[in-house]
Structure 1
Amino acid sequence: SGVESLGGTVSITSEQGKGMITTMRIPLTMAIMDGMEVSVGNSIFTIPINNIRSTMKINSTDILHDSIDGEMVKVMDGYYPVIRAKDFYNLPSGTDEIEEGILMWLESGDVSYCLFVDELLGEQQIVVKPLPAYVNSFDVKNFGITGCSILGDGNISIILDAGGLFAAARGA
């Protein structure tokens, strides 16, 4: 049955003269998380709140160009690599000007870096949906994507895995 395909059970109990009880148990496989929705051009991404240390506006003069690590930015007393979501995902639209976007200082495990996006759309509680099976054949986990969420307007937001994105961008 459909319920069993979800990993649930259906049980029926009856008592003569009193009627019948049908019990359906469906697992709570849906995870709900707090995420920050961000835009890059026409695309919307969600970043788990617990990976965000801070967000900031910076000037292009704050970006250092390192021959090995690419773009770096100094935050507080450390230097962190900058990953541009537009470039990493080859998105057709979005800003390239550092002054026009937002830098998000992300942390996952012992990884810390800055993700450059166009703008913050706001914090949302989202229902995490696994990606459809056919999408997984494209190796999306190697692109720092962990799932998706359907937004209130029907559009889809891609949920980013902060640690996986860094590893993918670094070619690890």
Structure 2
Amino acid sequence: MSKFFRKIVNYVRSVYPITFIQNRPYCNLKKITGNKIYFSCRGSGSLLHIKFDDIINDHAVLSDFSSEQASYIGYCYGEYWEELTKKNQSIDRCDFFIINSQKKYSIYSTDRRNNLLFLDKDTQEIHTLPLLTIFNNKELIKGFDPTQAFYIGFLSKKYEKRICRNQPKVSTNKITLVK
């Protein structure tokens, strides 16, 4: 009876990490202030921090976040990027690249109207949607790899800035009532 019980325990131990633990992200985003990202890792219980420049150049850390959190980090990095370009500060060398994973969607390209073309790996179809639509849709962003979701967040911030810049300016002249 004890051999049978050991076999069951060993089987559960071997299957449990694969089915339950691998579906959860390893890192959990806590807050972003300035150019630092504060996060905790599963099992450590401590609060860690990393600079934007470091996380951009280390795809392993970025891929440990969920896709939604990675897209938010990308959006905040877009804000940080804008601040640096406004101040004309030098931006450190960026070795960022997109990883193609086994997730449902994969980035194909962007067009001039700031739409994202992405491949649905299940149907092998290429879909076209606006960046902000993808960024705001939680279920859709979950289908991308975290590094690709980061890139979507970054491009969404840059596109959002372009939209605000191209809006017509509202006249501040007073309107008078004519009878």
TM-score by length of 1: 0.25
**Which protein is richer in strand relative to its size?**
1
TM-score by length of 2: 0.24
